[in-house]
Amino acid sequence: MILRFKHQSLDLSSRTHIMGILNVTPDSFSDGGRFHRFEDAIAQGMRMIREGADIIDVGGESTRPGSDPVTLEEELSRVIPVIGSLTQRTEVPISIDTYKSEVARRALDAGAQMINDISALRFDPEMKRIVGQYRVPVVLMHIKGTPKDMQKDPSYDDVIGEIAQYLRESIQLAQEGGVEKERILIDPGIGFGKRLVDNLNILKNLSEFSILECPILIGCSRKRFIGGILDLPVQERLEGSLAALAVAVMNGANMVRVHDVRESKRVADLVDAIKRVD
């Protein structure tokens, strides 16, 4: 559970760690356009660090349901200046949220220290080689389909078992590319090709993924299933996001990927304290 970066390590067994979401896109489902401008992105990244983020995850392409991919050049123009600036301002590790190997390579060269790949190295066959070559931590996420079509009637016979098998195969794929297992985190992919009931099952049974012997990352923040249950628009889903986060932490999440860092850290710290009681 020791996640090693170039200049530091994070002990993921000591407490729940916080990954702050920094979308430098005009069209992300929750905050699209808010941090598209360079100055706004840097200010938000530094704000999340002050509020307690352990990692900042920078993304330049929306992967909301129904979204279309952006060009390589557009994604690079969005993320590389932000990553370069943040790494000069902070020692907090910067993660690049991408499934494109060239974006990952350029981001790592600009100072990023981690890769968050929604495709678990499957959309771009070169990605596993990049991760192995640079020896950085990587998040392998489960997705059913692609962002464009993933919510078109997804179905499972055994949602937990099928996700676990996909992630098991993804871990093997990563290792074949030279990625050391201790650098791998797994993410069951809340909202990525899942029905509302599937998302709830993942949260309820999250501990079952511990069989894969990798740290578990979970991202529930402001997602559609919360709005579906509470009948609330995306800007009013804070309480629901925090409730889902608390359940995830209680059931074994080692890291949570969030928009609202200050509030999420407070909840995670409280649940961690409860878990430590004998």
Q: Look at strands 17-23 and 138-141 and give their pairing.
A: unpaired
pLDDT tens digits, one per residue of 105-131: 999 999 999 999 999 999 999 999 999
**Among 128, 223, 237, 265, the one annotated catalytic:** 223
- Exposure of 149 in the CB half-sphere (CA atoms within 13 A): 4
**Cβ atoms 204, 252 nearer than 8 A:** no
Of 57-61, 147-151, 227-231, minimum mean pLDDT range: 147-151
**For residue 29, what pLDDT band results from cuts at 50, 70 and 90?**
low
Q: Is 237 a catalytic residue?
A: no
pLDDT of the residue at 53: 98
Pick from 3, 2, 51, 16: nearest CA to 250? 16
Nearest Cα residue to 209 out of 150, 140, 116: 140
- Mean residue pLDDT of the chain comes to 94
Provide mean pLDDT across the span 27-56.
85
Structure tokens at 92: 């907090």
Top-level class of domain 18-273? alpha beta
Taking the C-alpha atoms of residue 206 and residue 216, their distance in angstroms, rounded to an integer, is 9
Rounded Cα–Cα distance for residues 33 and 231 (Å): 24
Angle between helix 72-89 and helix 38-50 axes, rounded to 10 deg: 50
Domain ranges of the chain: 18-273
Please choose, from the candidates 131, 148, 149, the residue with its C-alpha nearest in 3D space to the C-alpha of residue 140.
131
Q: Which of 224, 237, 257, 265 is catalytic?
A: 257
Q: Which of 241, 240, 247 is nearest to 274 (CA)?
A: 247
Position 200 pLDDT exceeds 90:
yes
DSSP secondary structure letters along 127-174: HHHHHHHHT--EEEE--SS-TTTTTSS---SSHHHHHHHHHHHHHHHH
Mapped onto helix, strand or coil, the DSSP state of residue 180 is coil
Beta bridge partners of 21: 57
Q: Per-residue pLDDT tens for 45-102?
A: 999 999 999 999 999 998 878 778 899 999 999 999 999 999 999 999 999 999 999 9
pLDDT in tens, 245-266: 999 999 999 999 999 999 999 9
- Residues of the chain with pLDDT > 90: what percent? 86
State how far the Cα of 184 lies from the Cα of 139, in Å rounded to an integer.
Answer: 6
By CB atoms closer than 10 A (0-12, 13-18, 19+), residue 101 is buried
Interatomic CA distance for residues 27 and 9, integer angstroms: 33
pLDDT of residue 4: 95
Residue 47 annotated in active site: no
Q: For residue 157, is pLDDT > 80? A: yes
Residues 6+ apart with CB under 8 A from 246: 267, 268, 270, 271
Rounded mean pLDDT of 137-156? Answer: 91
Query: Is the predicted pLDDT of residue 145 greater than 90, yes or no?
Result: no
Q: What is the pLDDT of residue 151?
A: 86
pLDDT for position 31: 57
Q: Are strands 55-59 and 114-117 parallel, antiparallel or unpaired?
A: unpaired
Residue 218 and residue 180: Cα distance in Å, rounded?
Answer: 21
pLDDT attached to residue 141: 98
**pTM of full prediction above 0.85:** yes
